[in-house]
């Protein structure tokens, strides 16, 4: 199949990846109500078509946090991306750099921040707060010294959400014997993935926090490690500690409530990502896009506002901008593309997003993404 859309990359990834890894990236928490809302609520928003306007020149670039993005898009942090393609985080970083958009490296990525920075473009670095503050201080120093320009402090994962698909697939809760048998079967039935990732994509560790993961074991054991080591006691006051160890912009990710957004402003964050963790944490909460307008009204221009969750096309990007986001971040789309065909597929997917955004801009009469507002939407 020749991929034409994000849904096509999803199908190709489903065919190529072992079941445990596809279900892990594709699934959400509990009954996946919020996962579905993220996509459905974006689809339900109608763009307002306008015609007979001079749309010869389109301006898609935005400036944010000291950087110029050629497209109002970024690649969200995705844990364990190195299990979808050989050294997957480095492939995604190169694709993002080629497109002129930021790549955000997950704390629990397979590739370390050093390995990703060696591609030539230091990533935005996503932070989960561990109980071991000494190690966190060292980790922040590593990312800072490597030139990471932005810290994305994710605040909605004090504990992993209950993801039923992971239990059914054997990603979590399986015995060592069950896991070994499943791994052997995956190797036989997915030879392309086995050759690319299992044989040539090692080491399969959590690269940036390998020093904190004292016990060896399968990379799939990391959810249990998160539950033991992530700090549930974190409050807004802890942002002061982060700032003591980070002298560049700090973006808080994982906010859905306007009052939390105001707290982020009061705590001195430079940016905010409206996000429900892709529907992977608390199921039953509202979609990111439905939370965005109230948060945009609450914080105004007090910080840079971004969103992620459910973005699957350039049309979705324009909808997010119209409702107040400076840029939209995508996680699953690039993970699907990575699983489908590595860096070339991620590049093509980003080209598709750019082309879809251009069509949406032309047919709504918006020739500059910086001017996108609610007048682009048919809200009647």
Q: Give the residue numbers marked as catalytic.
A: 277
Whether 277 contacts 161, CB under 8 Å:
yes
Classify strands 62-64 and 271-274 as parallel, antiparallel or unpaired: unpaired
Render 154-211 in DSSP notation, one character per residue: E-S-SS----HHHHHHTSSS--HHHHHHHHHHHHHH-HHHIIIIIITS---S-GGGTT
Burial of 147 (0-12, 13-18, 19+ CB in 10 A): exposed
52 φψ region: left (φ > 0), alpha (ψ -120 to 50), beta (else): left
Give 115's Cβ-side CA count (13 Å radius).
22
> Strand ranges (DSSP E) for the chain?
46-47, 62-64, 67-69, 73-75, 104-105, 124-127, 151-154, 250-255, 271-274, 304-308, 327-330, 377-378
Whether 13 contacts 22, CB under 8 Å:
yes
Whether 317 contacts 357, CB under 8 Å:
yes
Please name the residues in contact with 264: beta carbons below 8 A apart, sequence gap of 6 or more: 236, 252, 255, 272, 299, 303
Report residue 341 as tokens: 């065909």
Whether 20 contacts 170, CB under 8 Å:
yes
């Amino acid at each position: 199949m020749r991929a034409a859309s994000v849904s096509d990359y999803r199908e190709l990834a489903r065919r190529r990846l072992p079941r445990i890894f596809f279900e892990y990236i594709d699934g959400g928490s509990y009954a996946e109500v919020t996962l579905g809302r993220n996509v459905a609520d974006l689809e339900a928003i109608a763009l307002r078509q306008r015609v007979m306007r001079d749309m010869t020149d389109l301006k898609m670039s935005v400036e944010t946090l000291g950087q110029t993005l050629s497209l109002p898009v970024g690649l969200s942090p995705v844990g364990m991306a190195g299990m979808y393609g050989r050294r997957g985080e480095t492939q995604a970083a190169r694709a993002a750099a080629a497109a002129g958009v930021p790549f955000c490296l997950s704390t629990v990525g397979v590739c370390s921040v050093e390995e990703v920075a060696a591609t030539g473009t230091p990533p935005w670095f996503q932070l989960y707060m561990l109980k071991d503050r000494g190690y966190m201080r060292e980790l922040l120093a590593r990312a800072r010294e490597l030139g990471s320009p932005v810290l994305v402090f994710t605040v909605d994962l004090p504990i992993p959400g209950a993801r039923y698909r992971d239990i059914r697939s054997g990603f979590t809760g399986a015995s060592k014997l069950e896991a070994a048998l499943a791994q052997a079967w995956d190797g036989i039935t997915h030879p392309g993935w086995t050759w690319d990732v299992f044989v040539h994509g090692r080491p399969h560790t959590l690269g940036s926090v390998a020093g904190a993961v004292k016990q060896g074991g399968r990379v799939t054991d990391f959810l249990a490690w998160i539950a033991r080591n992530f700090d549930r006691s974190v409050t807004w006051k802890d942002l002061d500690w982060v700032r003591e160890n980070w002298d560049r912009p700090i973006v808080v990710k994982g906010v859905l409530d306007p009052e939390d957004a105001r707290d982020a402003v009061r705590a001195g964050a430079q940016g905010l990502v409206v996000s429900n963790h892709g529907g992977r944490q608390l199921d039953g909460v509202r979609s990111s896009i439905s939370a965005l307008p109230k948060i945009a009204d609450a914080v105004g221009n007090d910080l840079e506002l971004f969103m992620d969750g459910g973005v699957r096309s350039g049309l979705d990007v324009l909808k997010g901008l119209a409702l107040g986001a400076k840029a939209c971040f995508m996680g699953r789309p690039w993970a699907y593309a990575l699983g489908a065909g590595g860096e070339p597929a991620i590049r093509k997917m980003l080209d598709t997003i750019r082309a879809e955004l251009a069509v949406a801009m032309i047919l709504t009469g918006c020739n500059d993404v910086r001017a996108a507002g609610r007048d682009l939407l048919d809200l009647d």
